[in-house]
């Protein structure tokens, strides 16, 4: 006698379903799966482009002997055409990558403000989730999980790749290949800055979406607020860390081309500073400027390259504190408006 065996077929997985996603996470993925796939494709393309760019630049540098600094003025003059060719070929592309990474956090914030939060509130589709024993706070946390994970994972990888690519060129020829795109110019696209900025922008976008409740106005408000908050922080960045100072009877010159000179001026006999007086170059060279302003010498405030990571850490701390404050404000408003 044989026993017939029966097996219950497993439920077929929905097309496009990711393993491990259930409940609200699955709903959020379904809502934004097209955008997520497009973002993933763009992320992989950006990574591939950065890897290609670094490989191509390093091949050019090695082929033309630009890795080490030139030993004399004559040697620098001989390699001038090669330096010019490098800058013509790669400088704009490297700078464009940096600008994209600089403003990528704002795109995260606009995406959260519009399609993720405001659209739900504008169309009223959130009510269906809230009638399924899902609290507003849990719904909101699920909605933000996808962009937060993307910011922590994706932007971290992009920032690391871009920093690696940029560093490989910045260290070549003592930085002469990146005359106008040094570490202080590319600061927001290097290190921890893009990741911290993305988290703060997500918090800003979430709050804007809750307050405005309309897609386009919420996205526009996030963009305006993000830019308005960015410039003051960029303006005070040199003051986040105590700078180095050079003093001299003549205008001090920095021998290190990788230092960030952000203020120059004169010092009076009493020690009072007069930042960048209105003197022509000839007056500065002949000392007439000092006499006209009753000053005794010049000063230069600057940050050496060694200050890069300390400044990055302080900057990231401020931005992450802003992200926490925005998140707390968003949660408070959510509980106040949707108890």
- Of 155, 181, 189, 185, the residue nearest 39 (C-alpha): 155
Instruction: Quote the crossing angle between the two packed helices 23-31 and 136-150, to the nearest 10°.
Output: 60
* CA triple 17-37-324, angle to 5 deg: 95
Gap between the Cα atoms of 274 and 107, Å rounded:
41
Which residues on neighbouring strands pair with residue 180, listed in sequence order? none
Per the CB < 8 A criterion, the answer to whether 189 and 102 are in contact is yes
The 10s digit of each residue's pLDDT in 206-242 is 999 999 989 999 999 999 999 999 999 999 999 999 9
**Model confidence at 51: pLDDT above 90:** yes
Closest CA to 147 of 98, 118, 121, 113: 113
Crossing angle (nearest 10°) for helices 308-337 and 215-236: 150
pTM metric for this prediction: 0.84
Q: What is the pLDDT of residues 172-209, one digit of tens each?
A: 655 667 777 889 999 999 999 999 999 999 999 999 99
DSSP codes, 7-46: -PPPPPPPTTPPTT--HHHHHHHHHTHHHHHHHHHHHHHH
Q: What is the pLDDT of residues 75-96, one digit of tens each?
A: 777 778 888 888 889 988 999 9
């Amino acid at each position: 006698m044989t026993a017939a065996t029966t097996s219950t077929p497993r439920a077929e997985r929905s097309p496009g379903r990711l393993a491990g996603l259930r409940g609200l996470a699955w709903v959020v993925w379904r809502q934004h799966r097209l955008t997520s796939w497009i973002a993933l494709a763009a992320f992989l393309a950006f990574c591939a482009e950065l890897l290609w760019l670094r490989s191509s630049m390093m091949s050019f540098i090695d082929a033309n002997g630009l890795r080490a600094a030139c030993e004399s003025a004559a040697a620098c003059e001989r390699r001038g055409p090669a330096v010019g060719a490098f800058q013509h070929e790669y400088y704009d592309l490297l700078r464009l990558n940096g600008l994209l990474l600089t403003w990528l956090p704002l795109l995260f914030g606009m995406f959260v403000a519009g399609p993720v939060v405001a659209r739900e509130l504008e169309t009223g589709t959130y009510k269906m989730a809230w009638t399924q024993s899902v609290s507003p706070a849990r719904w909101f946390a699920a909605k933000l999980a996808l962009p937060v994970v993307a910011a922590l994972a994706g932007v971290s990888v992009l920032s690391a790749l871009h920093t690696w690519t940029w560093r490989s060129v910045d260290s070549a020829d003592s930085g002469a290949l990146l005359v106008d795109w040094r570490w202080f110019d590319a600061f927001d696209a290097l290190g921890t800055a893009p990741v911290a900025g993305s988290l703060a922008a997500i918090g800003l976008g979430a709050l804007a979406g809750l307050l405005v409740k309309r897609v386009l106005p919420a996205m526009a408000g996030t963009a305006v607020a993000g830019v308005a908050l960015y410039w003051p922080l960029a303006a005070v960045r040199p003051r986040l860390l105590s700078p180095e100072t050079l003093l001299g009877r003549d205008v001090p010159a920095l021998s290190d081309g990788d230092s960030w000179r952000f203020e120059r001026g004169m010092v009076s006999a009493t020690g009072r500073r007069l930042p960048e007086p209105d003197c022509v170059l000839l007056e500065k060279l002949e000392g007439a400027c000092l006499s006209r302003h009753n000053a005794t010498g010049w000063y230069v405030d600057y940050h050496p390259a060694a200050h890069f990571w300390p400044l990055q850490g302080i900057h990231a701390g401020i931005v992450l504190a802003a992200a926490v404050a925005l998140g707390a404000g968003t949660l408070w408003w959510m509980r106040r408006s949707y108890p």
